[in-house]
Chain A
Amino acid sequence: MKSLSFTGGFHIEEYKGSTEHLATEKMGLPSKVIIPLSQHIGAPAKPVVKKDDKVKTGQIIGQMQGYVSANIHASLSGTVIEIISVLTPMGRKSSAVVIESDGQDEKFYDASENQNYKDLKKEDIIKTITDAGIVGMGGATFPTHVKLVPPKGKEIKTIIINGAECEPFLTADHRTMIEFPEEMLKGIDIIKQFTGAEKVYIGIENNKPDAINILEEKSKAYKFEVVSLQAKYPQGAEKNLIAAIMKKEVPSGGLPLDVGVVVQNVGTAKAVYDAVCLNTPLYERIVTVSGNSIHKPKNIIVRVGTEFSEIFKFCGDFSLEPAKIISGGPMMGFSIPFIENFSVTKGTSGILAFSKEFSQEKEKYPCIKCARCVDHCPMWLMPSKIEKLGNAGLFDEAEKIAALDCVECGTCAYVCPASRPLVQMIRYTKSKIIDNKNR
């Protein structure tokens, strides 16, 4: 099969070898979980439990507020011991419900299977997805019930399932595709049925031939098309994925919906299946734990709210003293300041720990105008120029050269031989442009 791609981007060293062939392991129940109420894009959920309340696994503990928000569920059964304020991996402050496990994992819902989703009405499907608190699990965490309902005048013609997993180190989506293909395909079928889309593509980078084979075989029955993609970063960025598969450009400032497309992550598809066919809300996910400081890198199935410190214990602790810990992938993830009170959220695709040597910063130089950043930017911007304008405070000029189109993928900063803080500066410039607009 020919592998498709987009113009720009860069083949980044993958570092997936230590976990890509490891089957997922279910991590035992932690003794307590800390569940932030803001795990998604949009309004934080409102707590509907209080101290000393008994809760069961899958019970709503945070009620979504408004349309762009998501429900939050208890991820184990036990007692609410307190509601505290925590830092989420994205650096936001959020209140969080702390639940002490009773060790029973008693379910709040009836997990009997209902495979006859074909008979379900649209309203029922979207209600189930909404109730289950499903959000984009690739890391973007945009509420799925919002993404699946196009605004008036827009139509979803095509669904693209994102199995590119272009971030180095991460193998959670890869394992989902290999280990849960049936569940995932049914989830996709439900999404297709709900949206009325005509066509479904499943895009997978060609560094995962096993996943491509399995899904090609199994998706025949559903008439989904599996597309092999070149292993190139950021192949999984929505706009680039659409460009690679459909040769269409999402207009600047627009959404995939503008070209009739909605993109869903493979993990999200599985979560939809769990919700619709197993009544199971989203309180558990697959996380890749890797990096050179981790003794035993793993792909784990873990409850939302599990503290990072517990996860490191489960992975045999550190073989090298970590100097940097990242929630998410190394290209777009967030480095976190401490591991206590820091817990897995619905968007945590990976947890990486790097030693001092591995995370050492490169020597900084002035920009030598080598044009690598220009040549590899997937949005075809001029990152070096935006950085310079931002540095000089010329935000209007920066806007003119499309600073706002930057998706913060990090490709420019990765390839820059002078180690310019390009993404950092562009992010700042973007925020200034937006501030100036709102004034």
Chain B
Amino acid sequence: MKLNITSSPHIHSPITVKTVMWDVILALLPAGFVGIYFFGFKALAVILTCIISALVAEYVAGKVLKIEFCLLDGSACLTGLLLAFCLPPATPLWIAAIGSIVAIIIGKSVFGGLGKNVFNPALIGRAFLLASWPAFMTSWSPTVKFLSKDWFSLSGKIVKGKEIIDAVSMATPLGYFKEQSLTSGAHFFAKVGQGLIDSTGQVHKMGLWDMIVGNIGGCIGETSAVALLIGAIFLLGRGHITWHIPAPTIITVAILGYVFGSDKLFDPQMMFIHLFCGGLFLGAFFMATDMVTTPITPLGRIIFGFGCGFLIFMIRKFSGSYPEGVCYAILIMNAFTPLIDRFTSPRVFGKGAANG
């Protein structure tokens, strides 16, 4: 009989890094399906391109830089998926591929691979693309009818009568708000109630429900609050994420949106716009909770969440050219993570306790 000698504990929870990663991917699927449903086949193409490029980049970087990696652990696949989720549906596939490669190599591999990176790799990829090809990255497709001809279009070009019109675009709700220098929530809803006009002159009406389920312009995976919430609840239940980051992020944006969102103070409709019309849920539940790049202390995570929420609102409200601030807000907070961790060590049991 050959007996193994190991250090205690001798049993372990069945959860591994692999299960964590695949669970997060699973949690993202509902939002992915909704994105494909509303934006068409081209969204699926972007998603697949990102995932495949990420896997290839992971493999090549691993071999060249001699870092340990495992394609099946799901981490590269997840990075690709997350990047795709924050790209416009009609992103040219070669741009998507470059973004994915940058995300893996600059975002992760150069730091030494899994667990060592400072910034969220997917957001690094997105920030790089936004800086390099701003025109493509801010060209938003309107939603299309499921299984219509336009739904199957790969390029985002649209068929109108006999003509093929170049990639149709239309403002996202948040972008529209900024472009039009709207002043209040009521103003916004009056306008979108009449409908937004896309580059072909077609009118797209949208109501509250459309904004909640994701029938609005935006990035592939960010528009459906409902689908993202389903995934988030699953992750919370599995213990892969905790409330510490998403709750303060969302609450901060909601409160700031409510109080300072429009020109007058206290505009509840502005709160709604800030919650449902951008990438807040995707960011708060899936990007700001990226384990590697966020604080490990409970207090640190709460501070991180507040910081994200605050920056998201500030960028949305005050930056000249960016209607959406989720990506940069999280990247900025990522940079503070080591500092936050250092100053928020939990109180050790039995130290400085108020006993009584």
Contacts and interface: CB of A to CB of B under 8 A. Distances in A.
Interface in A290-344: 321-326, 330-339
B348 A252 contact: yes
A375 B298 contact: yes
Contacts of A419: 12, 16
Interface string B250-264: 000000000000000
Secondary structure type dominating chain B contacts: loop
B17 A417 contact: yes
Given A366-B116, A370-B291, A374-B298, A427 B19 contact: no
A415 B240 CA distance: 11
Contacts of A324: 3-4, 6, 10
Nearest to A401: B345
A128 B334 CA distance: 63
Contacts of A354: 10
B52 interface: no
A416 B291 CA distance: 13
Contacts, number: 171
Given A331-B11, A414-B11, A337 B3 contact: yes
B10 A326 contact: yes
A421 interface: yes
Contacts of A108: none
Given A252-B350, A414-B9, A417-B20, A335 B4 contact: yes
Nearest to B298: A375
A381 B348 contact: yes
B13 interface: yes
B114 A368 contact: yes
A399 B239 CA distance: 30
A250 interface: yes
A251 B20 CA distance: 36
Interface in B45-80: 68, 73
A334 B7 CA distance: 7
A417 B116 contact: no
B292 interface: yes
A296 B356 CA distance: 48
A378 interface: yes
A12 interface: yes
Interface stretch (A52-60, A178-186, A203-211, A357-365): A357-365
A105 interface: no
B349 A405 contact: yes
Name the residue in B13, B346, B355 with the highest tally of chain A Cβ atoms < 10 Å from its Cβ: B13
Contact of A252 (B4, B12, B349): B349
B10 A331 contact: yes
Contacts of B18: 363
B135 interface: no
Nearest to A250: B350
B5 interface: yes
B68 to A, nearest CB: 8
Interface residues of A, number: 70
Interface string A367-381: 111111011001111
Interface in B158-178: none
Interface string B284-324: 00000001111111100100000000000000000000000
B16 to A, nearest CB: 5
A198 B350 CA distance: 24
A416 to B, nearest CB: 8
Contact of A339 (B1, B294, B297): B1
Contacts of B350: 239, 249-254, 379, 405
Given A368-B17, A368-B291, A417-B20, A423 B353 contact: no
A365 B73 contact: yes
A30 interface: no
A410 interface: yes
Contacts of A378: 349
Interface in B1-55: 1-13, 15-20
A413 interface: yes
Name the residue in B17, B18, B293, B295 with the highest tally of chain A Cβ atoms < 10 Å from its Cβ: B17
Contacts of B19: 417
Contacts of A335: 3-6, 8, 10
A370 B9 contact: no
Contacts of B301: 371
B16 A365 contact: yes
Given A249-B355, A402-B351, A331 B8 contact: yes
A47 interface: no
Nearest to A354: B10
Nearest to A253: B350
B12 A362 contact: yes
B278 interface: no
B8 A334 contact: yes
A268 to B, nearest CB: 22
B195 interface: no
A317 B74 CA distance: 42
A410 B345 contact: no
A325 B3 contact: yes
Given A339-B1, A365-B16, A365-B17, A330 B351 contact: no
B3 A365 contact: no
A151 to B, nearest CB: 19
Given A330-B11, A402-B351, A368 B5 contact: no
Interface string B269-292: 000000000000000000000011
A335 B17 CA distance: 26
A402 B4 contact: no
A127 interface: no
Interface in B227-263: 239-240, 242
10 contacts: A12-B13, A361-B6, A365-B115, A369-B294, A379-B349, A380-B347, A382-B345, A384-B296, A405-B351, A417-B15
Interface of A: 8, 10, 12-13, 168, 239, 243, 248-254, 259, 321-326, 330-339, 352, 354, 359, 361-363, 365-372, 374-375, 378-382, 384-385, 401-402, 405, 408, 410, 413-419, 421, 423-424, 427
A-B interface, 8 closest residue pairs, ranked by CB to CB distance from nearest? A410-B9, A366-B115, A252-B350, A371-B296, A424-B7, A365-B17, A249-B353, A370-B291
Given A335-B5, A338-B3, A371-B291, 14 more contacts: A13-B11, A248-B356, A249-B353, A251-B350, A324-B6, A330-B11, A359-B10, A363-B18, A374-B296, A375-B242, A375-B298, A384-B296, A413-B12, A424-B7
